[in-house]
Structure 1
Amino acid sequence: MKLLVDAMLGSLARVLRMCGHDAAYCLDRGIEADDEILDLAAREDRVVVTRDRQLADRAPERLLVESKDVDEQLEELGAAGVDLSPAPGERCGACNGELRDVDSERDLPEYVPEDASPVWRCGDCGQYFWTGSHWADVEARLAER
């Protein structure tokens, strides 16, 4: 399922990406208007994720969340059947690009811990990722859903 997350749900988009979902975020694409969102969703065959009931009513494929709280939004999506299993190494949390394995022999930026393994790099924005201590928190948060 490819998702298009509206402007009100940026934090949710990041978590969905950490679960491996192709979760495009409207503001990353420079759009906010409902007509533009619907057009993009149709062109890219995406399900619109929104808190906006009027937008949801117009979208052929949509997931409407009602809460303002990200944890409660995750509960709503989980109840709707969205897989919320952590998927490190799949998607860039920043830009939604696909992550690629980085050969451990290559020179990594100084900010990547020496013991980080595996390490991934976003094919779009170039950021590096690894399963640091924050992944335990992410896994615990998602396990509650």
Structure 2
Amino acid sequence: MTGANVDGSASGVEAEPTEGLLLDVMLGKLSTYLRMCGYDATYALDRGVEGDDDLLALAVTEGRTLVTRDESLAARAAAGLRIESTDVHEQLRELRAAGYDLSLSDRPRYCGACNAPLERVSWAESTPEYAPDPGAERVWRCRDCGQHFWRGATGGTSPRRSKPSERHYFEVGHRRLR
């Protein structure tokens, strides 16, 4: 169930995208990236959970690996992974080194905004004006918040983002992913 030991060193076990993760309040941006890689990545603040004991209880109840920057919290977790960096790209490198597969999914499974399951939009369905025609390219819709996702035109970049470091594999609706 783990991809790394609590200290962040590689355990030799590659984490599966089906593994549930719980990211603490310091890792909200990272949760979006993990969702686009196919991980069920719950962000603590999306669930209204902030306290350490509440985080630990939720991780156990839902069978999730707790991902945190807090060393003592990671040590207390039944399954915990400590991330050291404050930079999301360095955080992704740490996860990759710990055995997590960060390949971008051809078929996204979770909404980058709210983590709810995505469903493929049928070619016959209409989409909002900002989304492409599902007859021309694959489009997914969040079952909860209704956002639409599709593969970026240049193999993973969104022209609405000014910095390459903020680019995502899938474009999303009319608002920027956080």
Q: Distance in 2 between matches of 1:106 and 1:138?
A: 25
The answer for the alignment partner of 1:30 in structure 2 is 48
Q: Equivalent residue of 1:8, what SS? A: coil
Q: Is the 8 A contact 1:6 1:25 kept in 2?
A: yes
**What residue identity is the alignment partner of 2:111?**
C
Q: Is the 8 A contact 1:86 1:138 kept in 2?
A: no
1:108-127 alignment runs, 5 A limit: 108-114=127-133, 117-127=137-147
**What residue identity is the alignment partner of 2:36?**
M
Q: Distance in 1 between matches of 2:22 and 2:109?
A: 17
Q: Distance in 1 between matches of 2:168 and 2:114?
A: 18
The answer for the alignment partner of 1:89 in structure 2 is 108
CA deviations over 1:85-139 (Å, ceiling 9, x no partner): 1014221100111111111211211111237510001112211111124724546
Unaligned runs of 5+ in 1: 140-145
Higher helix share: 1
Among residues 96, 108, 114, which one is paired with 1:78 in the alignment? 96
The answer for the alignment partner of 2:124 in structure 1 is 105
Unaligned runs of 5+ in 2: 1-18, 158-166, 170-178
The answer for the alignment partner of 2:37 in structure 1 is 19
TM-score normalised according to structure 2 size: 0.74
TM-score normalised according to structure 1 size: 0.90
Q: Equivalent residue of 1:108, what SS? A: coil
The size of the alignment, in residue pairs, is 139
CA deviations over 1:18-74 (Å, ceiling 9, x no partner): 100000000000111000100100110000000011111110101111010111111
Please give the root-mean-square deviation of Cα atoms over the aligned residues, in Å.
1.6
The answer for the alignment partner of 1:128 in structure 2 is 148
Q: Distance in 2 between matches of 1:123 and 1:138?
A: 21
**What residue identity is the alignment partner of 1:128?**
H
